[in-house]
Structure 1
């Protein structure tokens, strides 16, 4: 076991899993990439690289980060649309990490996914009623009349007229299509819904309505959400906790309000500084604007040390040599940064003093 895996294990032991609907432990998803002539050598893209978190029943946990950070791969792996390379996924008390497709079928009744683009996720050749009824047919639930009634109820739940079941997706607006996709996910009465960028394909004027609908449905149906998004301003108002992801790893995990008021990782600071501010009275709450240097590195060839160090505005000599662990610095607030070194203190001290790191931490 590596020092990083040891730190991950100690972090996991501090978590209280008793009320967790979903427990993810040291989850990895690697993709092989051939290089050289005739694919003679292979590299691995570490899309998800040792991620751990808990998701409590009734909670909304959001995963945010730049494009290519691994957040969608994380969602697909948690939902077992992709097989994990390593790690554990425990859903509703059952380890689903290695279950076959046949054994996963009853699990999928309680774990549904709403995809980013409703236009591509809905079959344009089928009517809305048939699309929403499909999960019921697949799982053999109810008679034909009972399925019809459940489809009607699902459409009403997402604020669509029952008459829409006779329409084709091509005759619907983007917001209406996404409501159909939500109805299809909810018709099975799932416990957990994975929302992969649920509003990014919608007009700004429609996004707020869909988010409001999702919040109302969560309260009404006691749903649990895992939300994938690149939009911090969107998840600020819907997420109970937020995980900030970069190059397949969580760089910071905290309650939503804490993350916005007291970001600790420099990457989080940079993401927050990029949020547009419209109202003048919000300006005082916004961190100073921080330029993000360069482009994200090649995930098949990540930098040594801290994965964010080539672009970090607070980097120091140790950052390209020592890999930081995810350290819990306060109850419910964890950060991966050598400014908060935890058990790696002796190694970091070779390159900087605590006084210097304190100055960098407080340099705003």
Structure 2
């Protein structure tokens, strides 16, 4: 690699005239590990460790990585379902990192979450009309008649007939339940949806329909999406930009097309090489398969140096001793790897 790469400040490289809707800077979420009779803290799990990125208005930013990389914790911390340990979260120009529950209430109207499993996220004892109307009740918005009208409008928007108002979740298919979950997330007219593996619990044929619905809603309502997924192939067509996480750290961040055409981080290379080929026409563009060695390390006892070095096909001696920083490797493209700059490995 050329030594022309510059150290990134972990912000997005493109200067937009409009301030990003969401600005995440050096975000941390640590969980204490206790032991002994007195339950003293003896360590910590760094589920999210110094992560920075922006989500621009109207775009889809995807966070990808293997199970246990911290991406779901990242999403919940940004939505302030978890309090951050450190760093900052700015939403629509306001720092929401340390807001009290009372002050967070209006923010929650603007940031909504769609969870992975709609079966567990929908109350089985409530009818659909009450599930979708619940945010209006919590925020004391509208009369009973106005709430019913709003719920009917939302069901129509997610392509569900009005008679679903009186059904229970167990009467719906997986795809229909997820549409209800999306309708509930839209009830308060949010500007940001955190989509936590929104299609992973669905059949492949249903996944495509839900993704198409999300794209349609984004265009109609000018929504921004933070999509969390382990499926890189899912992000290729829906995401504008992608961040790749490993053991709580952001390893690479780039526009989607750039990431797929010219990945710069060894971990990203391995993830892309593992994407299955669906059609023969894709074979010519498929990178050579790179086998990932070993298992993901215990997050409570991460490796020294680069967190990925024990499994990396391009690791050198310094990778076990020196922790790399994010560096600029192209336009709006950053990566965390010592091989990007030989001088970094001598620090």
Length-normalised TM-score, structure 2 = 0.95
Per-residue CA deviation, residues 98-138 of structure 1 (Å, 9 max, x unaligned), is: 00111000011111000010000000000000000000111
What is aligned with 1:19?
A: 19
What is aligned with 2:98?
A: 98
Superposition deviation, residue 304 in structure 1: 0.7
What is aligned with 1:348?
A: 345
Indicate the structure whose relative CO is greater, using CA pairs within 8 Å and at least 6 residues apart. 2
Superposition deviation, residue 206 in structure 1: 0.5
Length-normalised TM-score, structure 1 = 0.91
**1:348, 1:114 → 2: CA distance?**
41
In the alignment of these two chains, the number of paired residues is 340
Superposition deviation, residue 278 in structure 1: 2.0
Describe the shift of the 1:167–1:290 C-alpha distance in structure 2 as closer, same or farther (beyond 3 A). same
What is aligned with 2:48?
A: 48
Secondary structure in structure 1 of the residue aligned to 2:282: helix
**2:344, 2:64 → 1: CA distance?**
30
What is aligned with 1:192?
A: 192
Work out whether 1:323 is the aligned partner of 2:323.
Answer: yes
What is aligned with 1:296?
A: 296
What is the RMSD computed on CA atoms of the aligned residues?
1.5
What is aligned with 1:360?
A: none
Per-residue CA deviation, residues 233-275 of structure 1 (Å, 9 max, x unaligned), is: 1111100000000000110000111100101101001001110
What is aligned with 1:160?
A: 160
**1:241, 1:263 → 2: CA distance?**
13
**1:294, 1:346 → 2: CA distance?**
29
Describe the shift of the 1:283–1:266 C-alpha distance in structure 2 as closer, same or farther (beyond 3 A). same
**1:336, 1:61 → 2: CA distance?**
19
**1:15, 1:75 → 2: CA distance?**
23
**1:333, 1:313 → 2: CA distance?**
22
Q: Which runs of 5+ in 1 are unaligned?
A: 1-6, 351-364
Per-residue CA deviation, residues 119-176 of structure 1 (Å, 9 max, x unaligned), is: 0000000000000000011111111111111101100000000110100001000000
Superposition deviation, residue 11 in structure 1: 3.5
What is aligned with 1:183?
A: 183
Q: Which runs of 5+ in 2 are unaligned?
A: 1-6
Describe the shift of the 1:40–1:152 C-alpha distance in structure 2 as closer, same or farther (beyond 3 A). closer
Q: Larger % of helix: which?
A: 1
Superposition deviation, residue 40 in structure 1: 4.7
